[in-house]
Structure 1
Amino acid sequence: MKNFSYDDFELREIQKLEGHTGKVLGIAWKEDSGVWGILAVFASWSDDKTIRIWEENFSGFFVCKAVLEASCTVRSCDWSREFNLVAAACSDATTAIWKNVGVHAYEHVYTLKGHENEVRSVSWNKDGQFLATCGGDKSIWIWEVLPGNEFDCTKVLQGHTEDVKIVHWDEKILFSGSIDNTIKVWEETRFVNGDWRCI
């Protein structure tokens, strides 16, 4: 067996995916796809106001299987593993939620409102029960998924002094990054007083 060497490592283009009519701003892999025989799936988003869902075929190439229409530029996107939901951060200060309701079929089920400036990033926690959103209003909103595709804002986290650019969950810890040059680490203290604190 030949030992791996970075001297032999080379990446080559195997496919170019086209379809967006504006700048592609990011991609997000669907968790648990691409393993155990499950075909890989990812979402791409753009300033053309769309999210495109790409699925790997049995030849190893990706094909666009769905186009989700947003109301404005999409800034971020994330998949909920447990509830088959896709959340999109939008530049009109809203977060759009779609549900995977069938093979390659997605239905817009909710629009989250509350931020006073564009939403920059979205992130589901591991069990899909909570969604974090952040934006140009310097705040982070924590949304709880309720029965019937309903959502409730359980907390608005303040502390950053400038726009919050990204949020990301790791188990029960939430990270937020801002152009104020800081990263804040948040922990839920529900079993103490039902609140959140920056640790």
Structure 2
Amino acid sequence: MTKKSSNVTPRTRFFAEDHALEGFQEQRFRLHNGRTGSRNSLESYCNAFSPDSSLLAWSRGNGFVDVVRLRTVSDDPECQKFHCNTIDCSQSVMAMVFSPVSTKIDSDKSKVFLLATGLACGKIKLWNPDSGELIYNLMDHRVCITSLSFMNDKELLLISSSKDRTMKVWDLNDDGNMTLTLNKHPLPILECSCSPTAPLICSVGKGRTVLLWRLEHKRSASYCKPLRGHKNDVTSCAWSPDGALLATASNDTTAILWDPGTTQQLLILGHVNPLPEPIFAGGANGSWLTCVRFSPDGSQLATLCEDNRLRVWNLWFNKASRSTEVNKPGASCTFSPDGSTIAVGHTDGSLSLLEVEVSVMPLKHLCRLAIRRFMPPAALDEVLLPPVIRRYLQYVPSEV
């Protein structure tokens, strides 16, 4: 007999400014573009780490992408220098992502992680980040690309979203052919993200829209359900590493954690205390959120806000959340694969790297990650478990 999940009343948490700088290393360095231009042409809209942490790429403005090799062969700190490779994309780069697995481009070359870049003109270009060689040039979107995400590491399916209100599926194992178009959004899509453990896609956009999709095949997808709760445009979304949680960020000053299986809200993270009334949350409020990202171990959530602060929320443990001020409005943030660094892109085309305290997770949290990675919500409901354990596996916040 299948047990149905009980309704959960979401908790609202606000940021404690008395712990504002705790846990961040004061040392940071900024990677500059060294070029001049207008503010809009220099904005760093996106950045990405390769899955093995060896490469960091970011859009520095004017159509250029810098790819920095972070690993060096020398153990002498004085000899360790960042090797930078610049790629000219010819158009402003609005989104980027590395492929989840390395690919052998030619028979006589070693494997590399492909770098996919989404451009303001609607094109998607995939590059060899080592040589700067253009591998694929994908064209079907009519206007600006807003995000890119890979579905899995087996079929190498690339999902793109655009301000033309569509998402498209591209098969990189079939010479980058476009196989499917998804078009349920009534207004421009601002970001899409693929679940790391299931064939699910979340797409968010203008008009408070949060939609879930199931990609049954590269040529077939079904619309699942909308998630309702935000009161302004939804700007960003991210999945937890076990695929059990979905985070969305909005211009209504909140980030919401959802159970995608039940569409229930589990936690509301407020960036203004108290939360603004709906009439104010729906307009300019000085605390629009631009980006949300989970840490690789799923214990922390980073949010980037219009108030020039990067906040890192400790979600499940009795630890203070942390924040730091970014000297210029940030457009993007990304955790490194080991969780020790957050890359923040700025509106002047530069990038800041902030060191984050990494601690050993409790064994029960590691067990939860392992169980939820392979057990979907329906399977979890069929197992007879004590209520306390069930609620813990479902990430239901404790009452205290």
Gap runs ≥5 in structure 2: 1-72, 74-82, 86-129, 273-285, 318-391
Provide the rounded CA distance (Å) in 1 between the counterparts of 2:214 and 2:243: 13
Q: Aligned residue for 1:121?
A: 236
Q: Aligned residue for 2:179?
A: 65
For 1:85-142, what per-residue CA distance to the aligned partner results, in whole angstroms no more than 9, with x for missing partners?
1000111111011001234211011111111110000001011111000111110011
Choose from 136, 147, 164 the match for 1:15. Answer: 136
Asked if 1 retains the 8 angstrom alpha-carbon contact of 2:179 and 2:218, the reply is: no
Alignment of 1:105-144 (within 5 A): 105-144=220-259
- Structure 1 ranges of 4+ moved more than 6 A: 4-7
- Aligned AA (1:46): S
Residue 186 (1) aligns with residue 298 (2): no
Q: Aligned residue for 2:302?
A: 175
Q: Secondary structure at the match of 2:139?
A: coil
Asked if 2 retains the 8 angstrom alpha-carbon contact of 1:137 and 1:163, the reply is: yes
Asked if 2 retains the 8 angstrom alpha-carbon contact of 1:89 and 1:119, the reply is: yes
Provide the rounded CA distance (Å) in 2 between the counterparts of 1:42 and 1:103: 10
Choose from 268, 273, 289 the match for 1:156. Answer: 268
Gap runs ≥5 in structure 1: none
| Higher RCO by CA contacts (8 Å cutoff, separation 6 or greater) | 2
Provide the rounded CA distance (Å) in 1 between the counterparts of 2:271 and 2:222: 35
Query: TM-score, normalization: structure 1?
Result: 0.82
Query: TM-score, normalization: structure 2?
Result: 0.42
Greater fraction of residues in strand = 1
Q: Aligned residue for 1:94?
A: 209
Report the number of matched residues.
181
Asked if 1 retains the 8 angstrom alpha-carbon contact of 2:258 and 2:264, the reply is: yes
For 1:59-110, what per-residue CA distance to the aligned partner results, in whole angstroms no more than 9, with x for missing partners?
xx21111111122111011001223110001111110110012342110111
Q: Secondary structure at the match of 2:302?
A: strand
Q: Aligned residue for 2:162?
A: 46
Greater fraction of residues in helix = 2
Provide the rounded CA distance (Å) in 2 between the counterparts of 1:111 and 1:90: 12
Asked if 2 retains the 8 angstrom alpha-carbon contact of 1:94 and 1:114, the reply is: no
Provide the rounded CA distance (Å) in 1 between the counterparts of 2:226 and 2:245: 15
RMSD (Å) for aligned C-alpha atoms: 2.4
Asked if 1 retains the 8 angstrom alpha-carbon contact of 2:266 and 2:397, the reply is: no
Q: CA deviation at 1:22?
A: 1.6
Larger-Rg structure:
2
Q: CA deviation at 1:195?
A: 5.6
Residue 55 (1) aligns with residue 171 (2): yes
